[in-house]
Chains A and B, each alone.
Chain A
Amino acid sequence: MSVLVVTEHHRGTWHRISMEAVAAGQQAAQAMQCSLAAAVVGSDVGGLAGDLARKRLSEVVAIDHPQLAAYSADGYAAALRKAIDDLRPRLVLFPHTYQVRDLAPKLAASVGTAFVSDAVGMRFEGGEPIFVRQMFQGKLHADVVPRGAPPHIASVQSGAFRAESAADGDGPAPVRRLAIALGEGDVRSQTGQPYQDAKDAVDLSAAKIIVSVGRGIREPGNIPLAEALARALGGELAASRPICDSGWLPLDRQIGSSGQTVSPDLYLALGISGAIQHVVGMKGSKTIVAVNKDSGAPIFEIADYGIVADLFDVVPKLVEVLGESD
Protein backbone atom coordinates (compact mmCIF):
# COMPACT_ATOMS: atom_id res chain seq x y z
CA MET A 1 0.00 0.00 0.00
CA SER A 2 1.48 3.31 -1.01
CA VAL A 3 1.08 6.81 -2.26
CA LEU A 4 2.51 7.48 -5.71
CA VAL A 5 3.53 10.97 -6.84
CA VAL A 6 3.97 11.51 -10.57
CA THR A 7 6.49 14.23 -11.38
CA GLU A 8 6.72 16.33 -14.52
CA HIS A 9 9.70 17.61 -16.41
CA HIS A 10 10.32 19.12 -19.79
CA ARG A 11 13.34 17.81 -21.62
CA GLY A 12 15.25 17.08 -18.45
CA THR A 13 14.27 20.18 -16.44
CA TRP A 14 11.81 19.79 -13.56
CA HIS A 15 8.49 21.54 -13.90
CA ARG A 16 8.61 23.85 -10.88
CA ILE A 17 5.41 22.40 -9.41
CA SER A 18 6.77 18.82 -9.35
CA MET A 19 8.36 19.30 -5.93
CA GLU A 20 5.11 20.79 -4.64
CA ALA A 21 3.46 17.49 -5.56
CA VAL A 22 6.27 15.63 -3.75
CA ALA A 23 5.57 17.77 -0.66
CA ALA A 24 1.86 16.89 -0.92
CA GLY A 25 2.80 13.23 -1.30
CA GLN A 26 4.94 13.32 1.85
CA GLN A 27 2.01 14.77 3.81
CA ALA A 28 -0.38 12.19 2.39
CA ALA A 29 1.92 9.23 3.05
CA GLN A 30 2.38 10.36 6.63
CA ALA A 31 -1.36 10.79 7.22
CA MET A 32 -2.18 7.49 5.54
CA GLN A 33 0.74 5.77 7.26
CA CYS A 34 2.07 4.22 4.13
CA SER A 35 5.10 4.34 1.86
CA LEU A 36 5.71 6.99 -0.77
CA ALA A 37 6.97 6.39 -4.28
CA ALA A 38 7.66 9.04 -6.91
CA ALA A 39 7.58 8.32 -10.62
CA VAL A 40 9.51 9.98 -13.41
CA VAL A 41 8.52 9.21 -16.98
CA GLY A 42 10.52 9.97 -20.12
CA SER A 43 13.51 8.93 -22.16
CA ASP A 44 16.95 8.91 -20.55
CA VAL A 45 15.61 9.93 -17.16
CA GLY A 46 18.45 8.44 -15.08
CA GLY A 47 19.69 11.87 -14.03
CA LEU A 48 16.25 13.07 -13.01
CA ALA A 49 15.60 9.84 -11.11
CA GLY A 50 18.87 10.32 -9.21
CA ASP A 51 17.94 13.90 -8.39
CA LEU A 52 14.46 12.87 -7.22
CA ALA A 53 15.97 10.09 -5.06
CA ARG A 54 17.42 12.72 -2.71
CA LYS A 55 13.91 13.46 -1.45
CA ARG A 56 12.43 11.51 1.46
CA LEU A 57 10.82 8.70 -0.54
CA SER A 58 10.49 4.92 -0.19
CA GLU A 59 11.50 4.58 -3.81
CA VAL A 60 11.79 6.28 -7.15
CA VAL A 61 10.15 4.60 -10.11
CA ALA A 62 11.80 5.41 -13.43
CA ILE A 63 9.87 4.57 -16.59
CA ASP A 64 12.29 5.04 -19.43
CA HIS A 65 11.54 4.45 -23.10
CA PRO A 66 12.60 6.21 -26.32
CA GLN A 67 8.90 6.55 -27.26
CA LEU A 68 8.37 8.56 -24.05
CA ALA A 69 10.91 11.27 -24.99
CA ALA A 70 8.06 13.65 -25.84
CA TYR A 71 4.77 13.63 -23.99
CA SER A 72 1.86 11.76 -25.54
CA ALA A 73 -1.37 10.87 -23.77
CA ASP A 74 -1.21 7.30 -25.06
CA GLY A 75 2.44 6.71 -24.16
CA TYR A 76 2.35 8.34 -20.73
CA ALA A 77 -0.96 6.73 -19.75
CA ALA A 78 0.45 3.30 -20.70
CA ALA A 79 3.59 4.02 -18.64
CA LEU A 80 1.61 5.06 -15.58
CA ARG A 81 -0.84 2.20 -15.88
CA LYS A 82 2.20 -0.06 -15.66
CA ALA A 83 3.35 1.77 -12.53
CA ILE A 84 -0.13 1.46 -11.00
CA ASP A 85 -0.29 -2.27 -11.82
CA ASP A 86 3.09 -2.85 -10.20
CA LEU A 87 2.79 -0.61 -7.15
CA ARG A 88 -0.96 -0.89 -6.46
CA PRO A 89 -1.02 2.55 -4.83
CA ARG A 90 -4.03 3.80 -2.88
CA LEU A 91 -3.50 7.35 -3.97
CA VAL A 92 -1.79 8.83 -7.03
CA LEU A 93 -0.92 12.53 -6.83
CA PHE A 94 -0.07 14.76 -9.79
CA PRO A 95 0.90 18.43 -10.01
CA HIS A 96 -1.98 20.17 -11.81
CA THR A 97 -0.43 21.19 -15.12
CA TYR A 98 -1.69 21.41 -18.70
CA GLN A 99 -0.05 18.04 -19.33
CA VAL A 100 -1.84 16.51 -16.37
CA ARG A 101 -5.16 17.93 -17.59
CA ASP A 102 -4.50 16.01 -20.82
CA LEU A 103 -3.24 12.83 -19.17
CA ALA A 104 -4.80 12.17 -15.76
CA PRO A 105 -8.49 11.93 -16.81
CA LYS A 106 -7.50 9.32 -19.41
CA LEU A 107 -5.48 7.38 -16.84
CA ALA A 108 -8.34 7.56 -14.32
CA ALA A 109 -10.89 6.44 -16.90
CA SER A 110 -8.70 3.56 -18.02
CA VAL A 111 -8.48 2.27 -14.43
CA GLY A 112 -12.12 3.21 -13.81
CA THR A 113 -11.44 5.44 -10.82
CA ALA A 114 -11.78 9.03 -9.67
CA PHE A 115 -9.61 11.94 -10.67
CA VAL A 116 -10.07 14.82 -8.25
CA SER A 117 -8.53 17.63 -10.25
CA ASP A 118 -6.89 20.87 -9.15
CA ALA A 119 -7.04 20.51 -5.37
CA VAL A 120 -6.05 23.56 -3.34
CA GLY A 121 -5.96 21.62 -0.10
CA MET A 122 -6.05 18.14 1.35
CA ARG A 123 -6.89 16.74 4.75
CA PHE A 124 -7.46 13.28 6.15
CA GLU A 125 -10.24 11.71 8.16
CA GLY A 126 -9.66 8.15 9.35
CA GLY A 127 -6.73 7.87 6.97
CA GLU A 128 -8.87 8.76 3.96
CA PRO A 129 -8.17 11.87 1.92
CA ILE A 130 -10.62 14.73 1.49
CA PHE A 131 -9.67 17.23 -1.19
CA VAL A 132 -10.59 20.89 -1.23
CA ARG A 133 -11.20 22.32 -4.68
CA GLN A 134 -12.65 25.50 -6.07
CA MET A 135 -16.00 25.42 -7.83
CA PHE A 136 -18.33 27.89 -9.49
CA GLN A 137 -15.50 30.07 -10.78
CA GLY A 138 -13.85 30.13 -7.37
CA LYS A 139 -16.94 31.53 -5.64
CA LEU A 140 -17.26 28.39 -3.50
CA HIS A 141 -14.95 25.76 -2.10
CA ALA A 142 -15.90 22.10 -2.08
CA ASP A 143 -14.77 19.15 0.03
CA VAL A 144 -14.54 16.34 -2.49
CA VAL A 145 -14.06 12.68 -1.60
CA PRO A 146 -13.07 9.97 -4.04
CA ARG A 147 -15.48 7.01 -4.18
CA GLY A 148 -15.11 3.44 -5.34
CA ALA A 149 -12.07 1.20 -5.38
CA PRO A 150 -8.56 2.67 -5.29
CA PRO A 151 -6.28 3.89 -6.69
CA HIS A 152 -7.73 7.36 -6.33
CA ILE A 153 -6.10 10.01 -8.44
CA ALA A 154 -5.82 13.70 -7.60
CA SER A 155 -3.86 16.74 -8.74
CA VAL A 156 -2.70 19.68 -6.64
CA GLN A 157 -2.87 23.27 -7.79
CA SER A 158 0.29 25.28 -8.29
CA GLY A 159 1.12 27.04 -5.02
CA ALA A 160 -1.14 24.85 -2.85
CA PHE A 161 1.90 23.10 -1.35
CA ARG A 162 5.36 24.48 -0.77
CA ALA A 163 8.17 22.96 -2.79
CA GLU A 164 10.65 23.87 0.00
CA SER A 165 8.73 21.67 2.42
CA ALA A 166 9.51 18.56 0.34
CA ALA A 167 12.00 17.01 2.76
CA ASP A 168 15.23 15.34 1.74
CA GLY A 169 15.82 11.76 2.85
CA ASP A 170 18.64 10.51 5.09
CA GLY A 171 20.16 8.75 2.12
CA PRO A 172 19.25 8.33 -1.52
CA ALA A 173 16.03 6.43 -2.15
CA PRO A 174 16.35 3.28 -4.25
CA VAL A 175 15.52 3.71 -7.93
CA ARG A 176 13.38 1.03 -9.53
CA ARG A 177 13.35 0.86 -13.30
CA LEU A 178 10.07 -0.26 -14.82
CA ALA A 179 10.26 -1.68 -18.30
CA ILE A 180 7.39 -0.92 -20.61
CA ALA A 181 6.61 -2.33 -24.03
CA LEU A 182 5.51 0.36 -26.48
CA GLY A 183 5.10 -0.42 -30.15
CA GLU A 184 4.86 1.85 -33.16
CA GLY A 185 1.07 1.96 -33.24
CA ASP A 186 0.61 2.39 -29.48
CA VAL A 187 0.99 6.16 -29.63
CA ARG A 188 -1.67 7.51 -31.97
CA SER A 189 -0.68 11.19 -31.87
CA GLN A 190 2.33 12.97 -33.31
CA THR A 191 3.55 16.01 -31.42
CA GLY A 192 5.78 18.85 -32.55
CA GLN A 193 8.30 20.93 -30.61
CA PRO A 194 6.83 23.62 -28.36
CA TYR A 195 6.89 27.11 -29.89
CA GLN A 196 5.84 30.64 -29.02
CA ASP A 197 3.92 32.93 -31.33
CA ALA A 198 6.43 35.56 -32.46
CA LYS A 199 4.19 38.46 -31.57
CA ASP A 200 4.36 37.57 -27.89
CA ALA A 201 6.90 40.19 -27.01
CA VAL A 202 5.91 42.14 -23.90
CA ASP A 203 7.54 40.78 -20.76
CA LEU A 204 5.33 41.79 -17.85
CA SER A 205 7.32 39.80 -15.30
CA ALA A 206 9.68 42.73 -14.75
CA ALA A 207 6.92 45.31 -14.22
CA LYS A 208 6.74 46.84 -10.73
CA ILE A 209 3.16 48.03 -11.15
CA ILE A 210 0.46 46.32 -13.20
CA VAL A 211 -3.07 47.58 -13.85
CA SER A 212 -5.12 44.65 -15.07
CA VAL A 213 -8.62 44.61 -16.52
CA GLY A 214 -11.28 41.90 -16.66
CA ARG A 215 -14.80 41.45 -17.99
CA GLY A 216 -15.95 44.37 -15.83
CA ILE A 217 -14.39 46.78 -18.33
CA ARG A 218 -17.41 45.86 -20.51
CA GLU A 219 -16.27 47.09 -23.91
CA PRO A 220 -13.06 47.84 -25.80
CA GLY A 221 -13.87 51.56 -25.81
CA ASN A 222 -13.26 51.58 -22.05
CA ILE A 223 -9.70 50.23 -22.22
CA PRO A 224 -8.16 53.75 -22.46
CA LEU A 225 -9.54 54.45 -18.98
CA ALA A 226 -7.43 51.64 -17.50
CA GLU A 227 -4.56 52.67 -19.72
CA ALA A 228 -4.70 56.19 -18.28
CA LEU A 229 -4.45 54.76 -14.76
CA ALA A 230 -1.53 52.54 -15.73
CA ARG A 231 0.23 55.56 -17.21
CA ALA A 232 -0.47 57.73 -14.16
CA LEU A 233 1.02 55.04 -11.92
CA GLY A 234 3.96 54.37 -14.24
CA GLY A 235 2.84 50.78 -14.68
CA GLU A 236 1.97 48.29 -17.39
CA LEU A 237 -1.49 47.40 -18.63
CA ALA A 238 -2.55 43.73 -18.53
CA ALA A 239 -5.75 41.71 -18.68
CA SER A 240 -7.50 38.47 -17.85
CA ARG A 241 -8.08 35.89 -20.55
CA PRO A 242 -11.56 36.92 -21.81
CA ILE A 243 -10.29 40.40 -22.65
CA CYS A 244 -7.46 39.03 -24.80
CA ASP A 245 -9.75 36.38 -26.32
CA SER A 246 -12.02 39.18 -27.47
CA GLY A 247 -9.05 40.96 -29.01
CA TRP A 248 -9.42 44.05 -26.81
CA LEU A 249 -5.79 43.71 -25.74
CA PRO A 250 -3.05 41.62 -27.37
CA LEU A 251 -2.51 38.07 -26.08
CA ASP A 252 0.92 38.95 -24.71
CA ARG A 253 -0.73 41.14 -22.07
CA GLN A 254 -2.65 38.21 -20.63
CA ILE A 255 -2.02 37.19 -17.01
CA GLY A 256 -2.84 33.68 -15.84
CA SER A 257 -2.17 30.01 -16.41
CA SER A 258 -2.21 30.36 -20.18
CA GLY A 259 -0.48 33.74 -20.14
CA GLN A 260 2.23 35.33 -18.05
CA THR A 261 2.95 34.80 -14.38
CA VAL A 262 3.79 38.03 -12.60
CA SER A 263 4.63 39.17 -9.08
CA PRO A 264 4.81 42.99 -9.16
CA ASP A 265 4.89 45.26 -6.12
CA LEU A 266 1.38 46.43 -6.97
CA TYR A 267 -1.32 44.57 -8.88
CA LEU A 268 -4.49 46.54 -9.43
CA ALA A 269 -7.32 44.28 -10.60
CA LEU A 270 -10.15 46.20 -12.24
CA GLY A 271 -13.37 44.30 -12.85
CA ILE A 272 -11.62 40.94 -12.54
CA SER A 273 -13.65 38.27 -10.77
CA GLY A 274 -10.61 36.21 -9.79
CA ALA A 275 -11.12 32.87 -11.54
CA ILE A 276 -8.47 30.31 -10.66
CA GLN A 277 -6.88 30.52 -14.11
CA HIS A 278 -6.19 34.21 -13.57
CA VAL A 279 -5.22 34.06 -9.91
CA VAL A 280 -2.42 31.52 -10.42
CA GLY A 281 -0.70 34.10 -12.63
CA MET A 282 -0.71 36.97 -10.12
CA LYS A 283 -1.21 35.72 -6.58
CA GLY A 284 2.48 36.23 -5.84
CA SER A 285 2.08 40.01 -6.18
CA LYS A 286 3.26 41.96 -3.13
CA THR A 287 0.19 44.20 -2.83
CA ILE A 288 -3.09 43.39 -4.53
CA VAL A 289 -5.89 45.92 -4.96
CA ALA A 290 -9.26 44.75 -6.27
CA VAL A 291 -12.03 46.96 -7.61
CA ASN A 292 -15.20 45.01 -8.34
CA LYS A 293 -18.94 45.66 -8.12
CA ASP A 294 -19.58 42.14 -6.81
CA SER A 295 -18.61 41.89 -3.15
CA GLY A 296 -18.64 38.09 -3.52
CA ALA A 297 -16.00 38.08 -6.28
CA PRO A 298 -13.22 35.63 -5.33
CA ILE A 299 -10.56 38.24 -6.17
CA PHE A 300 -11.32 39.80 -2.76
CA GLU A 301 -10.04 36.64 -1.05
CA ILE A 302 -6.52 37.50 -2.07
CA ALA A 303 -6.74 41.31 -2.13
CA ASP A 304 -4.95 43.48 0.41
CA TYR A 305 -7.23 46.42 -0.38
CA GLY A 306 -10.73 45.94 -1.67
CA ILE A 307 -13.10 48.45 -3.19
CA VAL A 308 -16.62 47.24 -3.78
CA ALA A 309 -17.72 49.75 -6.41
CA ASP A 310 -18.16 50.44 -10.07
CA LEU A 311 -14.72 50.77 -11.61
CA PHE A 312 -16.10 53.50 -13.88
CA ASP A 313 -16.66 55.66 -10.78
CA VAL A 314 -13.38 54.88 -9.02
CA VAL A 315 -10.79 54.75 -11.80
CA PRO A 316 -11.35 58.31 -13.13
CA LYS A 317 -10.99 59.61 -9.55
CA LEU A 318 -7.73 57.69 -9.09
CA VAL A 319 -6.39 59.22 -12.32
CA GLU A 320 -7.58 62.64 -11.15
CA VAL A 321 -5.95 62.42 -7.71
CA LEU A 322 -2.70 61.11 -9.20
CA GLY A 323 -2.73 64.06 -11.62
CA GLU A 324 -3.14 66.53 -8.76
CA SER A 325 -0.21 65.20 -6.78
CA ASP A 326 2.24 65.61 -9.68
Chain B
Amino acid sequence: MKIFVCVKQVMSRDAAVRVDGDGSWVRDDGVAFETNEPDTFALEEGLRLREKHGGEVVAVTAGPARASSTLREALAKGADRAIHIQDNRFARADTHITAAALAAAIGREPHDLILTGLQSDDAGYGQTGVILAEMLGLPHATIIMKIEASGGQFRCKRELEAGWFQTVTLPQPALLTIQSGINKVRYATLMGIKKARRKPVRRYSSADLGIDTQPRQEVQRLYQPQQGKQTEFLEGSAREVADQLLSKLRFEARVI
Protein backbone atom coordinates (compact mmCIF):
# COMPACT_ATOMS: atom_id res chain seq x y z
CA MET B 1 0.00 0.00 0.00
CA LYS B 2 1.31 3.44 -0.92
CA ILE B 3 0.58 5.73 1.99
CA PHE B 4 1.18 9.49 2.05
CA VAL B 5 1.13 11.23 5.41
CA CYS B 6 0.83 15.02 5.42
CA VAL B 7 2.69 16.70 8.26
CA LYS B 8 2.98 20.33 9.29
CA GLN B 9 5.52 22.09 11.39
CA VAL B 10 3.96 24.40 13.97
CA MET B 11 5.20 26.58 16.80
CA SER B 12 5.88 24.51 19.87
CA ARG B 13 2.92 24.21 22.20
CA ASP B 14 4.71 26.04 25.02
CA ALA B 15 6.03 28.87 22.85
CA ALA B 16 4.91 32.36 23.80
CA VAL B 17 2.85 33.71 20.91
CA ARG B 18 3.78 37.27 20.01
CA VAL B 19 1.93 39.20 17.33
CA ASP B 20 4.25 40.57 14.63
CA GLY B 21 4.76 44.20 13.63
CA ASP B 22 1.86 44.60 11.21
CA GLY B 23 -0.44 42.57 13.47
CA SER B 24 -1.34 39.98 10.86
CA TRP B 25 0.72 37.00 12.01
CA VAL B 26 2.96 35.84 14.84
CA ARG B 27 6.68 36.39 15.22
CA ASP B 28 8.65 33.24 14.62
CA ASP B 29 12.11 34.40 15.64
CA GLY B 30 13.50 32.74 18.75
CA VAL B 31 10.65 30.26 18.82
CA ALA B 32 10.91 26.47 18.92
CA PHE B 33 9.00 24.48 16.33
CA GLU B 34 7.66 20.96 16.45
CA THR B 35 5.58 18.56 14.39
CA ASN B 36 1.89 19.34 14.68
CA GLU B 37 0.80 16.84 17.32
CA PRO B 38 -2.29 15.50 15.48
CA ASP B 39 -0.03 14.73 12.48
CA THR B 40 2.21 12.54 14.63
CA PHE B 41 -0.78 10.24 15.22
CA ALA B 42 -1.43 10.17 11.45
CA LEU B 43 2.21 9.21 10.80
CA GLU B 44 2.08 6.46 13.42
CA GLU B 45 -1.10 5.08 11.85
CA GLY B 46 0.58 5.08 8.43
CA LEU B 47 3.60 3.23 9.79
CA ARG B 48 1.39 0.62 11.46
CA LEU B 49 -0.60 0.04 8.26
CA ARG B 50 2.63 -0.41 6.31
CA GLU B 51 3.94 -2.86 8.91
CA LYS B 52 0.73 -4.88 8.52
CA HIS B 53 0.14 -4.66 4.79
CA GLY B 54 3.54 -3.77 3.34
CA GLY B 55 4.21 -0.90 0.99
CA GLU B 56 5.63 2.55 1.52
CA VAL B 57 5.07 5.56 3.77
CA VAL B 58 5.88 8.98 2.31
CA ALA B 59 5.90 12.02 4.60
CA VAL B 60 4.84 15.23 2.80
CA THR B 61 4.93 18.82 3.94
CA ALA B 62 4.21 22.19 2.36
CA GLY B 63 6.27 24.56 4.46
CA PRO B 64 9.23 26.89 4.74
CA ALA B 65 12.83 25.64 4.81
CA ARG B 66 12.74 25.05 8.57
CA ALA B 67 10.04 22.38 8.09
CA SER B 68 12.72 19.97 6.83
CA SER B 69 13.39 19.02 10.47
CA THR B 70 9.80 17.79 10.73
CA LEU B 71 10.37 15.57 7.69
CA ARG B 72 13.65 14.31 9.23
CA GLU B 73 11.72 13.35 12.33
CA ALA B 74 9.15 11.45 10.25
CA LEU B 75 11.96 9.65 8.40
CA ALA B 76 13.66 8.81 11.71
CA LYS B 77 10.44 7.28 13.00
CA GLY B 78 10.22 5.08 9.94
CA ALA B 79 8.83 6.89 6.89
CA ASP B 80 10.57 5.60 3.75
CA ARG B 81 11.01 8.93 2.02
CA ALA B 82 9.78 12.51 2.13
CA ILE B 83 8.53 15.30 -0.10
CA HIS B 84 9.09 18.95 0.81
CA ILE B 85 7.17 21.56 -1.13
CA GLN B 86 9.23 24.49 0.00
CA ASP B 87 8.08 28.08 0.03
CA ASN B 88 8.44 30.56 2.87
CA ARG B 89 4.93 31.80 2.15
CA PHE B 90 3.57 28.43 3.28
CA ALA B 91 4.28 29.42 6.89
CA ARG B 92 1.04 31.40 6.80
CA ALA B 93 -0.69 30.07 3.71
CA ASP B 94 -4.43 29.45 3.85
CA THR B 95 -5.83 25.92 3.67
CA HIS B 96 -6.62 26.19 -0.03
CA ILE B 97 -3.03 26.98 -1.00
CA THR B 98 -1.58 24.33 1.30
CA ALA B 99 -3.97 21.69 -0.03
CA ALA B 100 -3.23 22.74 -3.64
CA ALA B 101 0.50 22.28 -3.00
CA LEU B 102 -0.01 18.85 -1.40
CA ALA B 103 -2.39 17.80 -4.19
CA ALA B 104 0.07 18.81 -6.90
CA ALA B 105 2.89 16.79 -5.36
CA ILE B 106 0.91 13.70 -4.27
CA GLY B 107 -1.18 13.74 -7.46
CA ARG B 108 1.97 13.00 -9.51
CA GLU B 109 2.34 9.59 -7.93
CA PRO B 110 0.10 6.57 -7.43
CA HIS B 111 -1.50 6.69 -3.96
CA ASP B 112 -3.69 4.27 -2.03
CA LEU B 113 -4.17 6.16 1.21
CA ILE B 114 -3.52 9.73 2.35
CA LEU B 115 -3.50 10.54 6.05
CA THR B 116 -3.50 13.91 7.82
CA GLY B 117 -4.00 15.02 11.40
CA LEU B 118 -7.49 16.36 12.02
CA GLN B 119 -6.30 19.95 12.46
CA SER B 120 -3.22 22.04 13.08
CA ASP B 121 -2.28 23.44 16.45
CA ASP B 122 -1.51 26.89 14.96
CA ALA B 123 -4.24 28.19 12.64
CA GLY B 124 -6.54 25.29 13.50
CA TYR B 125 -8.81 25.49 10.44
CA GLY B 126 -9.19 21.70 10.38
CA GLN B 127 -9.88 21.49 6.66
CA THR B 128 -6.68 20.96 4.68
CA GLY B 129 -7.15 17.18 4.48
CA VAL B 130 -10.71 17.37 3.21
CA ILE B 131 -9.84 20.02 0.60
CA LEU B 132 -6.92 17.87 -0.53
CA ALA B 133 -9.27 14.88 -0.96
CA GLU B 134 -11.64 16.97 -3.07
CA MET B 135 -8.78 18.30 -5.21
CA LEU B 136 -7.57 14.76 -5.88
CA GLY B 137 -11.11 13.46 -6.42
CA LEU B 138 -10.85 11.04 -3.48
CA PRO B 139 -13.49 10.02 -0.97
CA HIS B 140 -12.63 11.04 2.59
CA ALA B 141 -13.67 10.57 6.19
CA THR B 142 -12.68 12.76 9.13
CA ILE B 143 -11.80 12.33 12.80
CA ILE B 144 -10.93 8.66 12.47
CA MET B 145 -10.22 6.48 15.52
CA LYS B 146 -9.50 3.13 13.82
CA ILE B 147 -8.63 1.90 10.32
CA GLU B 148 -8.99 -1.63 8.95
CA ALA B 149 -7.77 -2.13 5.40
CA SER B 150 -8.98 -5.18 3.46
CA GLY B 151 -10.32 -6.08 0.04
CA GLY B 152 -9.57 -2.67 -1.46
CA GLN B 153 -11.59 -0.91 1.24
CA PHE B 154 -10.96 1.04 4.41
CA ARG B 155 -13.33 0.31 7.26
CA CYS B 156 -13.02 3.18 9.72
CA LYS B 157 -14.30 4.14 13.13
CA ARG B 158 -15.34 7.76 12.81
CA GLU B 159 -15.81 9.88 15.90
CA LEU B 160 -19.08 11.80 16.16
CA GLU B 161 -19.94 14.31 18.84
CA ALA B 162 -20.43 13.65 22.56
CA GLY B 163 -18.94 10.16 22.75
CA TRP B 164 -20.72 8.65 19.71
CA PHE B 165 -19.05 6.78 16.86
CA GLN B 166 -19.95 5.44 13.46
CA THR B 167 -18.43 2.96 11.01
CA VAL B 168 -17.59 4.44 7.61
CA THR B 169 -16.37 2.27 4.74
CA LEU B 170 -14.52 3.88 1.84
CA PRO B 171 -13.07 2.41 -1.35
CA GLN B 172 -9.32 2.66 -1.91
CA PRO B 173 -7.78 5.18 -2.67
CA ALA B 174 -9.08 7.47 0.06
CA LEU B 175 -8.07 10.24 2.45
CA LEU B 176 -8.58 10.00 6.20
CA THR B 177 -8.03 12.66 8.85
CA ILE B 178 -6.85 11.12 12.08
CA GLN B 179 -8.07 11.93 15.58
CA SER B 180 -5.40 12.42 18.23
CA GLY B 181 -5.16 9.47 20.59
CA ILE B 182 -5.91 6.83 17.92
CA ASN B 183 -2.63 5.10 18.78
CA LYS B 184 0.45 5.39 20.92
CA VAL B 185 3.07 7.29 18.98
CA ARG B 186 6.55 5.74 18.77
CA TYR B 187 9.77 7.62 19.42
CA ALA B 188 12.59 7.77 16.92
CA THR B 189 15.38 5.34 17.80
CA LEU B 190 19.06 6.21 17.45
CA MET B 191 19.26 3.73 14.60
CA GLY B 192 16.22 5.41 13.01
CA ILE B 193 17.83 8.83 13.25
CA LYS B 194 21.00 7.47 11.63
CA LYS B 195 19.10 5.77 8.84
CA ALA B 196 17.03 8.90 8.19
CA ARG B 197 20.09 10.74 6.92
CA ARG B 198 20.29 8.42 3.94
CA LYS B 199 16.60 8.48 3.07
CA PRO B 200 15.55 10.54 0.04
CA VAL B 201 13.83 13.91 0.38
CA ARG B 202 12.33 15.27 -2.83
CA ARG B 203 12.11 19.05 -2.95
CA TYR B 204 9.71 21.10 -5.06
CA SER B 205 9.19 24.84 -5.25
CA SER B 206 5.65 26.19 -5.72
CA ALA B 207 6.71 27.20 -9.23
CA ASP B 208 7.77 23.60 -10.04
CA LEU B 209 4.25 22.47 -9.26
CA GLY B 210 2.40 25.43 -10.78
CA ILE B 211 0.29 25.96 -7.67
CA ASP B 212 -2.60 28.41 -7.49
CA THR B 213 -1.40 30.83 -4.82
CA GLN B 214 -4.50 33.02 -4.68
CA PRO B 215 -5.64 32.96 -1.04
CA ARG B 216 -9.30 32.23 -0.34
CA GLN B 217 -9.10 33.73 3.12
CA GLU B 218 -6.79 36.11 4.85
CA VAL B 219 -5.95 36.96 8.43
CA GLN B 220 -6.43 40.70 8.68
CA ARG B 221 -5.49 41.10 12.29
CA LEU B 222 -4.34 38.93 15.19
CA TYR B 223 -4.86 40.11 18.74
CA GLN B 224 -5.20 39.07 22.36
CA PRO B 225 -8.74 37.92 23.03
CA GLN B 226 -10.89 40.24 25.05
CA GLN B 227 -11.72 39.06 28.48
CA GLY B 228 -15.14 37.42 28.34
CA LYS B 229 -15.58 37.44 32.08
CA GLN B 230 -14.18 39.58 34.87
CA THR B 231 -11.65 37.16 36.30
CA GLU B 232 -10.63 37.76 39.86
CA PHE B 233 -7.02 36.71 40.24
CA LEU B 234 -6.03 35.43 43.66
CA GLU B 235 -2.49 36.07 44.85
CA GLY B 236 -0.28 35.18 47.77
CA SER B 237 1.35 32.06 49.14
CA ALA B 238 -0.20 28.70 48.22
CA ARG B 239 -1.84 28.56 51.63
CA GLU B 240 -3.22 32.11 51.35
CA VAL B 241 -4.55 31.45 47.87
CA ALA B 242 -6.23 28.22 49.05
CA ASP B 243 -7.86 30.04 51.98
CA GLN B 244 -9.06 32.89 49.77
CA LEU B 245 -10.45 30.60 47.09
CA LEU B 246 -12.40 28.37 49.46
CA SER B 247 -13.83 31.34 51.25
CA LYS B 248 -14.90 32.94 47.96
CA LEU B 249 -16.46 29.69 46.76
CA ARG B 250 -18.38 29.41 50.07
CA PHE B 251 -19.53 32.96 50.66
CA GLU B 252 -19.33 34.78 47.32
CA ALA B 253 -20.16 32.18 44.68
CA ARG B 254 -21.91 29.90 47.19
CA VAL B 255 -21.10 26.76 45.27
CA ILE B 256 -19.53 24.63 48.02
Residues of A within 8 A of B (CB): 73-74, 97-98, 101-102, 104-106, 108-110, 112-118, 130, 134-148, 188-197, 200, 208-209, 233, 241-242, 244-246, 251-252, 254, 257-261, 265-266, 276, 286-290, 296, 298, 300-309, 313-314, 316-318, 320-322, 325
Pair B245/A305 contact, Cβ less than 8 Å: yes
Which of B99, B222, B232, B255 has the most chain A CB within a 10 Å cutoff? B255
**Complex interface: chain B residues within 8 A of A134 (CB):** 124, 225
Q: How many whole Å from B89's CB to the nearest CB in chain A?
A: 15
B contact patch SS: mixed
Assembly CA distance A303 to B179 (angstroms): 28
Residues of B within 8 A of A259 (CB): 162-163
- B218-A194 in contact (CB<8A): no
A139 to B17, CA, bound (A): 7
Q: Is the CB of A195 within 8 A of B171?
A: no
Residue B238 contacts which of A136, A244, A317 (CB distance < 8 angstroms)?
A: A317
Residues of A within 8 A of B217 (CB): 114-116, 144-147
Kindly state the separation between the CA atoms of A91 and B168 in the bound complex, as whole angstroms. 30
Q: Is B256 an interface residue (CB 8 A)?
A: yes
Cα(A195)–Cα(B220), bound, Å: 42
Q: Is B241 an interface residue (CB 8 A)?
A: yes
User: Which single residue of chain A is at the shortest CB-CB distance from B245?
Assistant: A305
Q: For residue B72, give the distance in angstroms from its CB to the closest CB of chain A.
A: 24
- Asked if residues B181 and A189 are in contact (CB atoms below 8 Å), the reply is no
B219 near A142 with CB under 8 A, answer yes
CA of A107 to CA of B16, assembled, Å: 35
B206 at the interface (CB under 8 A from A): no
Residues of B within 8 A of A320 (CB): 239, 242
Chain A binding site: helix, strand, loop or mixed by DSSP? mixed
A194–B165 contact, CB under 8 A? yes
Question: With contacts A145-B220, A189-B139 known, is A194 near B164, CB below 8 A?
Answer: yes
Q: Name B132's closest neighbour in chain A (CB-CB).
A: A109
Q: Which residues of A contact B123 (CB under 8 A)?
A: 135-136
- How many angstroms from the CA of A242 to the CA of B125 in the assembled complex? 19
Complex Cα–Cα for A113 and B163 (A): 32
Instruction: For B96, list chain A residues within 8 Å (CB).
Output: 109, 114
B125 touches A140 (CB 8 A): no
Contacts A105-B131, A109-B130, A301-B228; is A114 near B241 (CB within 8 Å)?
no
Q: Is the CB of B233 within 8 A of A306?
A: yes
Is B224 in the interface zone, CB < 8 Å from A?
yes
Q: Are B222 and A141 in contact (CB under 8 A)?
A: yes
The CB with the most chain A CB atoms within 10 A, among B131, B134, B217, is that of B217
Can you name 21 A-B pairs with beta carbons within 8 Å? A73-B130, A101-B126, A102-B130, A105-B127, A109-B135, A113-B216, A114-B216, A115-B95, A115-B125, A115-B127, A115-B216, A134-B225, A137-B121, A143-B223, A188-B170, A189-B170, A191-B166, A242-B180, A314-B241, A318-B245, A318-B246
